[in-house]
Amino acid sequence: MTTPEAPPSASRWLEPLLALIVAGGVVWAGYHWITEGFLPQPFFYEPFDIWADWFNTAYWARDPGTYDTWRTIYPPLSFVFLQMFGLEHCYPIATGTDPSAGLMARGCDWPGYVTLHAFFLINAVLVYRIYKKIDPRSAPWRAFALAAGLPMLDGLERGNLIIVSFTCLVLAYGPLLRSARLRWVFAGLAINFKVYLIAALFPLLLRRKWRWVEGALVATVMIYLLSYAWLGRGTPKEIVDNILSFNDQLGAAQLLDLWYATTYRALLSLLGSSNFPMMDIIGSRNVDLLLVLIPAIQYTVQASLIAAAVAIWLRPEVVPLYRVINIGLMLALITSEAGGYTQAYFIFFIFMERWKGFGIKWAIVAAYVLSIPLDIPLDRSLPVVRPAYFPNTTIIVNYYIMLGPFVRPLIVLTIAFAIACATLRTVWLDSRANGWRDRWRFAPDVTPRVTDAALDGQAAASADAR
């Protein structure tokens, strides 16, 4: 039996400290909820809308206007799933087109509560088991920060299906399952829950995983066809049209769209909008500077990720598979705004990294920072009266202009840039030492010089045996 390599001294004290800060944020959020009746910023600004994404979607799973009235971008699987794990009589078909009609079911559909929170707990167990296989010493801190951190808690508070899709993602790309076919099924389920998770699949082509990608795509199509046959609606044209319509709506951002964002898309829209007096607040010169500087930073990071992908194609045997997947995911998530809770996806893969090299260390620390459910107030707005679900009454809510919406997307960009630079450096050093010829392409029997912690259940089982 081999003894795991001792972690660097900085990792031994820094990661527990960061996990403790995350825990302090969770305690503060809980205290705020108990005393004030709602979760603090950056959790959702409407205290009455807790679990809205789950129960509103469950309502439209039963209303025939899912795609033409509600204009959803979800594939049929989400609605089939919510039909299966909900009580039918809790969702009487309402008259009209109220997008929040499902909120009335929150006091009735108890299987919905149980299913949502059961998947949340399952995710916590899964990520701990995965991280324990990779590095037992850092596993408790990283698993806690991910499972109880801001992105996952925000997804839980919203009742968003990211909680279910995340389960599918970790089973598809983590080292827990041995069966490749079963992994394909979970990859297909993940894509059918969240279409943009196809960005986690195609990077496998950089590692020449042709059969794996083919099997997962077949599973994706089969799951779509079965769920479409069950639901009876949700054609590809309807989904694509609604996605395009949704993107057009994001182009006209409001101030509240800055609340918990992963990208600067909403901020750029507000900077260039005549409906919000941003020039009066920060000055026209600063607005012009930001309109040039922010896109320049974004394009630089996107270019670095593309360059890293090219480097992986040339030298696939030296880059760990979890980083290959993450590069595709981060390219998708920094290009299009999909919600703050989506940060849980790439943080999962960041926490698979070893504490080695400045770029990777920065990415790990930044992932902990993104997991802290706290924000720093810059200014306070006028208090407003809002209905709250749990106190079941109206409460006075104080909203703040926070630092997070302006800094959090930059942290995400630095994580993407860090893993791209770390990948380019790895490929450069290996090519200098071993030559530039693409040995993987011309000699498929060449053994990878990194261990695949993902998509390699047999290797994980062998490691356990040792």
CA distance 438 to 318: 12
Over 60: is that where the pLDDT of 23 sits?
A: yes
CA–CA–CA angle 410, 414, 419 (5° rounding): 155
Q: Can you give the pLDDT at residue 222? A: 97
Q: What gap in Å lies between CA 270 and CA 253, rounded to an integer?
A: 6
Mean pLDDT of 94-111: 74
- pLDDT mean over 280-285: 64
Question: Residue type for 204, please?
Answer: L
- pLDDT for residue 297: 95
pLDDT computed for residue 283 by the predictor:
62
What burial letters (b/e) apply to 200-237, b meaning 16+ CB within 10 Å?
Answer: bbebbbbbebeebbebbbebbeebbeebbeebeebeee
Chain center to CA of 187: 15
Among residues 324, 287, 293, which one has the least CA distance to residue 413? Answer: 293
Q: Per-residue confidence at 31, pLDDT binned at 50, 70, 90?
A: very high
Q: Given this model, what pLDDT does residue 282 score?
A: 62
Q: Which helix (H) or strand (E) holds 78?
A: helix 76-84
For 401, counting Cβ atoms within 10 Å of its Cβ (0-12 exposed, 13-18 middle, 19+ buried), the class is middle
pLDDT tens profile 122-172: 999 999 999 999 999 999 999 999 999 999 999 999 999 999 999 999 999
| Helix boundaries (H) for 315-393 | 321-335, 343-350, 358-371
Return the pLDDT at 80: 96
Per-chain mean pLDDT for the chain: 86
Query: What's the pLDDT at 99?
Result: 62
**Residue given tokens 């992994």 in the structure block:** 183
Mean pLDDT of 183-206: 95
When mean pLDDT is compared across 18-22, 89-93, 190-194, the lowest value belongs to: 89-93
Quote the CA–CA distance of 232 and 254 in Å, as a whole number. 35
Band (455; pLDDT cuts 50, 70, 90): low
State the pLDDT at residue 446: 44
Residue 223 corresponds to which amino acid? I
Q: Is pLDDT above 60 for 267?
A: yes
Is the pLDDT assigned to residue 328 strictly greater than 90? Answer: yes
CA separation for the pair 373, 19 (Å, rounded): 12
Which tens digits make up the pLDDT trace of 60-91? 998 888 898 888 989 999 999 999 999 988 88
Residues 6+ apart with CB under 8 A from 164: 81, 119, 193
**Backbone dihedral angles phi then psi of residue 138, each to the nearest 5 degrees:** -95, -10
Q: What is the distance between the alpha carbons of residues 57 and 161, in angstroms, rounded to a whole number?
A: 9
